[in-house]
Amino acid sequence: MTTIVLVRKNNEVVVAGDGQVSMGNTVVKSTAKKVRKIEKRNVIAGFAGSTADALTLFERLEAKLEKHQGNLSRAAVELAKDWRTDKYLRRLEALMAIGDKERSFIISGTGDVLEPEGGIIGIGSGGNYALAAGKVLMDTELSAEEVAKKAMKVASDICVFTNNNLNVEKI
């Protein structure tokens, strides 16, 4: 697994993810990029789960955004629908945290498209640690990026499947 945190604060949206890729109890890579930006549509996404599965879903998300003229809500629902019903896609094991300037979602392979409250999302093995730290930090003067980085630091200190080699994207 991995840890991804999405923070929405003061008109800024930031997604941060760690760089650790593990196979069982072994770290095989410490600098993976699990956060991506779709510049054309001003959308950022972070992935937790199998790397190949996450990349497949990212490509599908891009295609859905193109098909629906950048409407993130519609693209998220259509992706979740395909993910749940498609024979090939439903085997993919990953979670996605996605956001644009207006909205943020968690998308799962069970067909869930969730829009969490409070401006923060945490997914992956250290997601709950990052989420808890981020919720506390939201009431401070810190920027969205600072909240995301500090929340990821807390998660990396607790979760053995999360490191502190961060990849951060913001819009």
- Residues marked active site are found at 2
Residue 84: phi and psi, rounded to 5, are: -75, -35
d(CA 75, CA 65) in angstroms, rounded, equals 5
Q: Tokens standing for 28? A: 């095989």
Apex CA 164: angle with CA 160 and CA 170, to 5°?
125
Q: CB–CB of 34/125 below 8 Å?
A: no
Q: How far is CA 72 from CA 48, 62, 94, 100, in A?
A: 19, 10, 19, 7
Q: CB–CB of 126/158 below 8 Å?
A: yes
Q: Output Rg (C-alpha) for the chain, integer angstroms.
A: 15
d(CA 78, CA 132) in angstroms, rounded, equals 30
